[in-house]
Amino acid sequence: MDITALVALFCDDDRRYHIKVHFWLPEVQIDDQRTGKSHHVQQLYKVWAEQGLLTLTPGQIVDYDAIRQTINDWADRYHPLEIAYDPWGATQLATQLADDDDRVMTEVGQTVKQLSDPMKEIQALIIDSRLHHDQHPVMNWMMSNVIARVDRNDNVFPNKDSPDNKIDGPVALITAMSRAMLRENVGYHDTPIPEFVING
């Protein structure tokens, strides 16, 4: 079971990017008796949940109603130009957000073609100190788990070396960057930076 990640991506006039994140996990995933995860990872999850950094939802499956509520709360506050999503497992949620909540949804397939350039862009932004966030521990852990898989054409794709080493947050960020790169000249920079980033 992967962690579900929501990443909001903002860009300022100096082309510095800022992110806000939220993570969910079914509570069964921290039960020592009902999951095969390593003790270390389970302890991380428990600590993050206690600190309010990881939202546990009841039961064994993803609570899409809770995710939908947070997406709508963020959308009402930040007015995104669009909401990109991974179609794997999220098609029904995307349909509800589009049809019932009037959100602009954009499907982004998780393929090398879609993710290679934005992954390279994020690497360049990090090297150039132009990607800013609030040092969220879950996101930091996930970023440290990312391994770049490189093909013979020098395309890159996010990978991990263990099922326990989650990378859902970075993949969500790469997905958002794939859309931001297409929108750089069509108003993306008009999206405001949220106050929490400025004060962070």
Residue type, 145: N
- How many Å from the N-terminal Cα to the C-terminal Cα in the chain? 31
Q: How far is CA 81 from CA 106, 180, 187, in A?
A: 10, 10, 9
**Which residues, including other chains, have CB under 8 Å from residue 136's CB and lie 6 or more apart?**
21, 53
Percent of the chain with pLDDT over 70: 88
Confidence of residue 198 (pLDDT cuts 50, 70, 90): very low
Whole-structure pTM value: 0.89
CB 188 within 8 A of CB 81: yes
The confidence band for 194, taking pLDDT boundaries of 50, 70 and 90, is very low
Domains and CATH numbers, the chain: 4-198 (3.30.420)
State the pLDDT at residue 61. 86
> How does pLDDT run across 137-180, given as a tens digit for each residue?
999 999 999 999 999 999 999 999 998 999 999 999 999 999 98
Quote the radius of gyration of the chain (alpha carbons, Å): 17
